[in-house]
Structure 1
Amino acid sequence: MDKEKLLLIDGNSLLHRAFHALPPLKTNDGVYTNGVYGFLTMLYKILEEHEPDYIAVAFDKKSPTFRHKEYDNYKAGRKETPNQLKSQFPILKEILDKMNICRIEIDGYEADDIVGTLAKFGEKKDFNVIAFTGDKDYLQLISDSTKVAITKKGISNIEIYDNKKMIERYGLDSKQFIDLKGLMGDKSDNIPGIPGIGEKTGIKLLKQYKSIDGIYQNIDNISGKMKERLIENRQQAIMSKRLVTIITNIPIDISIDSLKKEDPDSLGLYEIYRRLEFNSLLDKIDINEKEKDRFILKTDFNIIYDKEELYDVLDQVIDNGKFIFKFVVDGNDYLNDPILGVAIKCNESVSYYMEFKDNRDLFFKDKRVIDIFQDERIKKEGHNLKEDIIVLFKNDIEINGIYFDTVVGQYLINPSQNNYDIKHICTEYLNLELKSKEDILGKGKKSKTWSDLDIDKRGEFFCNIVDTVYRVETEMLKKISDYEMTELFFDVEIPLIEVLANMEYTGFKVDSNKLKELGKEFDEKIDGLKKNIYELSGEEFNINSPKQLGVILFEKLELPIIKKTKTGYSTSAEVLDKLKDKHPIIEKILEYRQIVKLKTTYVDGLLSLINNSDNRVHSSFNQTITTTGRISSTEPNLQNIPIKTEEGRKIRKVFIAEDDDFVLVDADYSQIELRVLGHISKDSKLMEAFFKSEDIHTKTASEVFGVSKDEVTSLMRSRAKAVNFGIIYGISDFGLSRDLKIPRKESKLYIDNYLKNYKKVKEYMEDIVKEGREKGFVKTILNRRRFLPEIKSKNFNVRSFGERMAMNTPIQGSAADIIKIAMVNVYKQLKCKNMKSKLILQVHDELIIEASKGEVEEVKNLLKNLMENAVELEVPLKVDMKTGDSWYETK
């Protein structure tokens, strides 16, 4: 009959190991969980592999142990446990209690002593014992009945030691291992041992003399410095051995039954895992569907079938003064896909779903419906309202009174969150489960569409959405208020939703014929470059294959190898850039790659995205993607069209005004981020340049290179420009040397000279990093927060990234705030004045309006006034403006 198994876990050791192995995971409301999650991942794996009959987890207590009393410097100098880890101990202990796993901590003793005592207790009961830890001191516990499992790097690599493994690894038995630790000492616990004796020497001595006592009994057989060290540090060795010895007979009042592995409190555990967002661990819990039901959001809803029922709901909307709505679109394209219905909620009691199959006009053409959407006194709320506003625009309905959006609200609260879907919001704020779109429709080729489902399932899902919005609004707005972002939310981000919806709905006209001509031109260039490359290489090959290209460059042409990868030679842009002066083929390959990218990404890509009905591309403008607050653009990404090369700029020629009655007006903030830096840092020299309308890069070049402004060369100005913008992004001397292709020593001199001349900028950089470290976040001028967990990382590269973000976010984020304010104000004025001109694009610091020719001067004045006065800074904002029939002409 197999022996029963006792599993013992060093809780402190494994939690520390998990914490340092995993990135700083945390819940949406900011609770750090990486250590607990990693610990549980290990625990479940251990339980599955070893199937113990008895189990216990031991923890250290804060009180001093006998080791501290014997040796004052025991564990002295050890870094204090980070707060992010400290906070996870009570969470783990709560979970272990719900798992019905015995946990033990005893004043005056460490987890090692508890495990050691329980191991001997298990041996007496004739159990097979296995102890899990990250601490090699435990190897002294190994016996015929006890094994020790050591976690190595990370949390998945575990090495199990028994008597045989000990002899293989150390050539010593478990008792001798205590002597080895006494000789070596232990840096992590500040145990001294004997100076100059490491593992290798210690093992050699113990193999020969068996123990520390044996060594001193034969001290005359040892010679030289080794003998001197042993004699001089004899008491230190004896003390060190005593300190590393695990006590195996501490007084523990415990019964065998209390260690028995019991079934967990599944319901309690399920609730904790949901609270901690451990979704991947929920499957580990055996819980029936009926029990799960208590955690699932259930919404009472009615289906609207006729005009009378619709009007009854509209009466409630008017009485309540607000409503939440969500349109059901059969696909992901709110501009073109069919609209199946709408969910509405206006009070606490019930939600409503109206199907549009036979009565779409009953909703979109009804005067009462239109009036309610246009009445700014009635608040409109929703989840990702931009989509729903596009549906309204599509049906010729204007919207006023937009008040609340869960996606935008949660984005302000936690801008680093992976996504803002309603499922996560429901879990975080209501602690209830809500099925996601993918849960209902599935993923991939076998996924369904909303029209495949019956009306009840459709209605239930979308009524759940509006119900969640209704229920989370108060708490979300309170968080926004607590973070001092109420003004940012209501005056900037909420009105911006309509602005972006209108930009998407309007789109940007593309001359498809010009685009096709440009495609042919690129194809011809690509063919010509191919011939050049083949001639220079002496053979034809697949230029797009890194493997084949590597063979040509590094074997046939024998160019110096810069970097190798697992699959062969690296031919990255960075590598090729370093080889430019080595062979003429490199320039041709770089040019070939550039033209191919332009052709595939911007010609072929744009052709596939032009809307056939209006010959415009309708990019998606994303308000909740970047952590700095910047707006991004996708399908197509109009913010990423190249401008540095003439070939890239040609792409802009295909973006044109609607017809001969319209022209494009492009307004671009001049050096807005440097102006924001001047405002935030209050640096008089930097501010003076903007007040006097000086060229800031020439001024900086003069300061950095110690010459008069008249003596500044174009190269000096170019390098000063790189320093100016590099400072904004917290650039290092290494980064600047790489960008400018200059020695690191020279780039350091540029940065040092800059900071000597702009002392307040240097002060700002130091102060903001300190603030970010103390508070855990930094803010923009409108109090937009960016949290910086990286800034406290032990990893230098991660910490440096956090410091750069601390420096950059208040600048780049404030610039993003300013352009958003300008967009909102410009859009409002165009709408208020009922102008034909429309705001159609935002690219970082630039706004483009498709202006009616009769309104051009008014548009230019409006842009200049509203953009330059968007906020009041210590330095003036300046806008540069150009007009043209194409985007190319405006740049």
Structure 2
Amino acid sequence: MSEKILLIDGHSILNRAFYGLPDLTNSEGKHTGAVYGFLNILFRILEEEKPQYLTVAFDLHAPTFRHKMYEAYKGTRKPMPEELREQVPLIQEMLTAMGVKIVTMEGYEADDILGTLAGRSEKKGMDVTILSGDRDLLQLATEKVMIRLPRTVRGKTTIEDFHAEQVLEKYQVTPPQIVDLKALMGDSADNIPGIPGVGEKTATKIIAEYGSVENAHEHLEEIKPNRAKESLREHYDLAQLSKALAAINTDSPVEFDYEQAKLGNLYTQGAFLLCKRLEFKNLLGRFDSENAQPQQQLQEFFSCSDLSGCETLFDKAAKQEYVGVSLVAEQGQVFGVGLALDSEEVYFIPVEGLLTENYLCGKLQQLLQKSSHGALTICSMDVKSMLKYVDGEDFGEIFDTGVAAYLLNPLKSSYTYDDIAKEYLNGRLLPSREELLGKMTLEKAWQQSEDGLVNMACYMAYTALVSREPLCEALKETDMWRVYTEIELPLIFTLNSMEKWGIKVKGEELKSYGERLNIRIAELEQLIWKQAGEEFNINSPKQMGIILFEKLGLKGGKKTKTGYSTAADILEKLAPEYPIVKDILEYRQLTKLKSTYADGLEKVIERDGRIHSTFNQTITATGRISSTEPNLQNIPVRMELGRLIRKVFVPEDEYVFLDADYSQIELRVLAHMSGDEKLIQAYREAQDIHRLTASQVFHVPFDQVTPLQRRNAKAVNFGIVYGISSFGLSQDLSITRKEAADYIERYFETYPKIKGFLDELVEQGKKKGYVTTMFGRRRPIPELKSSNFMQRSFGERVAMNSPIQGTAADIIKIAMNRVYKRLKEEGLRSRLVLQVHDELLIETYKEEIEQVSAILEEEMKGAANLSVELEVDMHQGNNWYEAK
């Protein structure tokens, strides 16, 4: 069996990955998506081809013969996008780290090198595979040389394979004739002009019949159609230039040693370290355990499992100025504590013998209480998750590393100790949890990999302590120190209290609600089947698409590879005209209500009869709080049957719910931040903003505005806050794009300073790379620098809406902290139990209703000093439904 060499067109595959896959950036801000895509394509091809030799050829930036020819004809080639250019040295660094042979040569392009090496290798009796996104290389295909062309569509890569036979079959010309084909039809992707008026079909017919451009020119009078004949007559010189540009040099003087190209172990320690630096976590599993331990432990970690030793350790910790702490716990079970007294003295204390869960949690509680006197600061990766296991709420000085890292870069999905160490400890690479424990749960790791668990706990405590100082400096440099200390840190304790209290749920009411849903779902099912004329699976998009768009012939169906799309946005447009679609949308909403809430909530009611949701403050890029396990912020409110689920949430006996909701907070923030006098004045005069906007936009007297005009104006008002486009507004209001554009233009005429403010935000985003809230919270917008139009447009919308939404999020957080603090300071039994976007829910002791109402009014209105007053709507009820 012949040996095989795999030759790769480096720039071409990098370019293919860049345009075919979503852009990625790591925490250093480097673009890495093309490199990641290149590696995935490489690994796939290697697994399929199993070659003995591997070489990647790259173009040099120095001009080649073909560059000079092209520039003489038409000027400079289109420059490479900067986001792609910066990834060329990265992929070359990665390939070098993997021991892959890289070849470049001054004056020659990569395909010249590939053509030369393919020819030499074929003469040596080797099988050759060339991987490239450039169809020019099809001219190199033979029985022994295969060209593989990857195509990426919607993030999925497929690969076409061509020997000489497949080239002839698909293009009706032989591989060498590909050059003549390109000479006539051109190829804009490769800057080959071709001749005017000749497309692929005509060019193929000419070359198939005459064999070459030169022979076709000799038989010029026979060429058909007439347009092609005259074009070849007039532009023969251009055809010859195009042929020269398309022709690959298969005899370039490139020096090449096959021994150096032998394929060895790609998964080296250097490649592992680079994958970590570039944050290619999905690729780390390819490395064996030896390479997955890229460096020695920073220092020796210590374990302490005797009672007297632990007492000494905690006493010593209490006397430190700063101490790093990690609580290793999962699903209510504690396995141990990591304790970093300084950068050299890091301990793990296991739950073992006399060192019980209660003992360790009690010791942590004492440390936290000690910190309340200001002599000690507890540093932890995730303070709130630790507080779950500690009694009480009165704790003092803390430093939350995860929250600090989130503020500095809110675009990441997680803030792990290894990522934080790499970013804030001079690129220090620590083994991640996945490297230490694999996919094991903590309980399984405790049983099978105690060393890994110990190291993880110690790394977490160490990183929390040592990264504190650089994180503090970064927060101050970015002017986010006040956001961190005055909003986010106090919020940890507010959210901890909410999670611990939870909210009471009536189990019987929940079952009854589920039964009501079942009845209505069954009714809708029969109704839909009757209108369809047959029974079908309503939960199957494929079956539903056939019923709606083929059998019933509804207009507006969009067919995809898997069938008709039945996405909500498509059905919502059809619902007003077709009752069956309206019923299907209701069916979908109710079945989701049933599975997510009626059934889902029942599973998470704890022994105390309450649901204890988790409130996340490091998830959203705008700064909003999110709720998970379960998500109590996403309960449907658009339909009455959806709203009714709020009836199952009730206060304890002798308590009621007080619900306070900011009125139009984002529009009020927009009025303040834009400084638009007309909008500010309207709020000061307590006018109906949507009616006023409708009056101005539609040029009708205020008291003659119709309900439809007010609804449309409301869509424009809120749409502006979210950076809506004319296309988006036209979709929302079911009007033409031109009408929507007119609405937006008239809106900006009505409130002239808003347009200037939003434009200024986009400019700020482009210039600085981020926008800020009123309080200084930053929202990075890398999309504004993208070469992709859709990405840039998205970035512009983000630049316009993030400061408004982010400021509103900051205000509600400030209000929560102030309300929580007042309830505590005044010794009240009432407590904050829920936050949903702009709404706070207080479980209020009946004798404290008046006092709590005053606190809510004062603290929510006083959370920010705007040029328009913050308005709060407040309601009382014996369940959440009544209070809302």
Q: Tell me if TM exceeds 0.5.
A: yes
Q: 1:494 aligns with which of 482, 489, 496?
A: 489
What CA RMSD, in Å, does the superposition of the two structures yield over aligned residues? Answer: 3.5
Q: How does 1:552-591 map to 2 (within 5 A)?
A: 562=557, 573-574=568-569, 577-580=572-575, 587-591=582-586
| Other-structure match for 1:412 | 407
| Other-structure match for 1:829 | 822
| Other-structure match for 2:232 | 230
Q: 1:478 and 1:106, CA in 2 relative to 1: closer, same or farther beyond 3 A?
A: farther
Residue type matched to 1:266 in 2? Answer: T
| Other-structure match for 1:625 | 619
SS in 1 for 2:866: coil
Residue 720 of structure 1 deviates from its aligned partner by 1.0
SS in 1 for 2:293: helix
Q: Distance in 2 between matches of 1:547 and 1:120?
A: 50
Q: How does 1:677-716 map to 2 (within 5 A)?
A: 677-716=670-709
- CA deviation vs aligned residue, 1:426-468 (integer Å, no higher than 9, x gap): 565531213349936726xxx9457756977655543332123
Residue type matched to 1:98 in 2? Answer: A
Residue 845 of structure 1 deviates from its aligned partner by 1.0
Q: How does 1:775-814 map to 2 (within 5 A)?
A: 775-793=768-786, 797-814=790-807
Unaligned runs of 5+ in 2: none
Q: 1:309 and 1:249, CA in 2 relative to 1: closer, same or farther beyond 3 A?
A: same
- CA deviation vs aligned residue, 1:199-246 (integer Å, no higher than 9, x gap): 322232233333222223333444744333222212222222223222
Residue 690 of structure 1 deviates from its aligned partner by 2.0
| Other-structure match for 2:377 | 379
Q: 1:648 and 1:134, CA in 2 relative to 1: closer, same or farther beyond 3 A?
A: closer
Which 10-residue stretch deviates more, 122-131 or 650-659? 122-131
Q: Distance in 1 between matches of 2:18 and 2:543?
A: 43
SS in 2 for 1:663: strand
SS in 2 for 1:847: strand
Q: How does 1:269-280 map to 2 (within 5 A)?
A: 269-280=271-282
The answer to whether the Cα contact below 8 Å between 1:24 and 1:789 also exists between their aligned partners in 2 is no
Q: 1:653 aligns with which of 631, 637, 647?
A: 647
Residue type matched to 1:829 in 2? Answer: R
- CA deviation vs aligned residue, 1:619-648 (integer Å, no higher than 9, x gap): 211111212111111233222223333333
| Other-structure match for 1:42 | 41
Residue 787 of structure 1 deviates from its aligned partner by 3.2
SS in 1 for 2:658: strand
The answer to whether the Cα contact below 8 Å between 1:423 and 1:436 also exists between their aligned partners in 2 is no
| Other-structure match for 2:465 | 470
Residue 189 of structure 1 deviates from its aligned partner by 4.1
Residue type matched to 2:611 in 1? Answer: V
The answer to whether the Cα contact below 8 Å between 1:60 and 1:110 also exists between their aligned partners in 2 is yes
Q: Distance in 2 between matches of 1:450 and 1:880?
A: 50
- CA deviation vs aligned residue, 1:171-224 (integer Å, no higher than 9, x gap): 333333322222223323443322112232223223333322222333344474
Q: 1:744 and 1:55, CA in 2 relative to 1: closer, same or farther beyond 3 A?
A: closer
- CA deviation vs aligned residue, 1:547-593 (integer Å, no higher than 9, x gap): 77678767887766845677766666555545546665555555455
SS in 2 for 1:725: helix
Aligned length: 875
Q: 2:347 aligns with which of 337, 351, 357?
A: 351
Q: 1:535 and 1:438, CA in 2 relative to 1: closer, same or farther beyond 3 A?
A: farther
Residue 112 of structure 1 deviates from its aligned partner by 2.3
Residue 669 of structure 1 deviates from its aligned partner by 1.6
The answer to whether the Cα contact below 8 Å between 1:73 and 1:190 also exists between their aligned partners in 2 is no
Q: 1:586 and 1:107, CA in 2 relative to 1: closer, same or farther beyond 3 A?
A: closer
Q: Distance in 2 between matches of 1:350 and 1:491?
A: 30
Q: 1:350 and 1:596, CA in 2 relative to 1: closer, same or farther beyond 3 A?
A: closer
User: TM-score, with normalisation over the residues of structure 2?
Assistant: 0.89
Residue type matched to 2:37 in 1? Answer: G
Q: Distance in 2 between matches of 1:126 and 1:364?
A: 71
Residue 706 of structure 1 deviates from its aligned partner by 0.7
Q: 1:320 and 1:141, CA in 2 relative to 1: closer, same or farther beyond 3 A?
A: same
| Other-structure match for 2:480 | 485
Residue type matched to 1:161 in 2? Answer: F
2:440 is the alignment partner of 1:442: yes
The answer to whether the Cα contact below 8 Å between 2:337 and 2:360 also exists between their aligned partners in 1 is no
SS in 2 for 1:131: strand
- CA deviation vs aligned residue, 1:521-544 (integer Å, no higher than 9, x gap): 545555665666677678877665
Q: Distance in 2 between matches of 1:144 and 1:576?
A: 53
Q: Distance in 1 between matches of 2:450 and 2:211?
A: 81
Q: 1:75 and 1:33, CA in 2 relative to 1: closer, same or farther beyond 3 A?
A: farther
Q: 1:791 and 1:555, CA in 2 relative to 1: closer, same or farther beyond 3 A?
A: same
| Other-structure match for 1:671 | 664
Q: How does 1:305-454 map to 2 (within 5 A)?
A: 305-306=306-307, 308-329=308-329, 331-332=330-331, 337-348=332-343, 349-355=345-351, 358-360=354-356, 362=359, 369=367, 371-372=369-370, 374-392=372-390, 395-396=391-392, 398-402=394-398, 404-422=399-417, 424-425=419-420, 430-436=428-434, 439=437, 442=440, 448=443, 452=447
Which 10-residue stretch deviates more, 17-26 or 524-533? 524-533
Q: Distance in 2 between matches of 1:810 and 1:295?
A: 44
Q: Distance in 1 between matches of 2:605 and 2:842?
A: 19
Residue type matched to 2:243 in 1? Answer: K
The answer to whether the Cα contact below 8 Å between 1:408 and 1:624 also exists between their aligned partners in 2 is yes
- CA deviation vs aligned residue, 1:734-759 (integer Å, no higher than 9, x gap): 33233333444433332222122222
Residue 680 of structure 1 deviates from its aligned partner by 2.5
Residue type matched to 1:786 in 2? Answer: R
Q: 1:867 aligns with which of 860, 871, 875?
A: 860
Q: Distance in 1 between matches of 2:278 and 2:685?
A: 55
Q: Distance in 2 between matches of 1:556 and 1:247?
A: 59
The answer to whether the Cα contact below 8 Å between 1:75 and 1:190 also exists between their aligned partners in 2 is no
Q: Distance in 1 between matches of 2:534 and 2:250?
A: 75
Q: How does 1:5-154 map to 2 (within 5 A)?
A: 5-72=4-71, 76=75, 78-123=77-122, 125=124, 127-143=126-142, 146-153=145-152
User: TM-score, with normalisation over the residues of structure 1?
Assistant: 0.89
SS in 1 for 2:62: coil
The answer to whether the Cα contact below 8 Å between 1:299 and 1:460 also exists between their aligned partners in 2 is no
- CA deviation vs aligned residue, 1:692-730 (integer Å, no higher than 9, x gap): 222211111111111121222222222211111111112
Q: 2:249 aligns with which of 232, 247, 250?
A: 247
Q: 1:519 and 1:11, CA in 2 relative to 1: closer, same or farther beyond 3 A?
A: closer
Identity level (%): 43
Q: 1:55 and 1:737, CA in 2 relative to 1: closer, same or farther beyond 3 A?
A: closer
Q: 1:177 and 1:556, CA in 2 relative to 1: closer, same or farther beyond 3 A?
A: closer
Residue 86 of structure 1 deviates from its aligned partner by 1.1
| Other-structure match for 2:188 | 187
Q: 1:115 and 1:309, CA in 2 relative to 1: closer, same or farther beyond 3 A?
A: same
The answer to whether the Cα contact below 8 Å between 2:182 and 2:192 also exists between their aligned partners in 1 is no
Residue 292 of structure 1 deviates from its aligned partner by 2.6
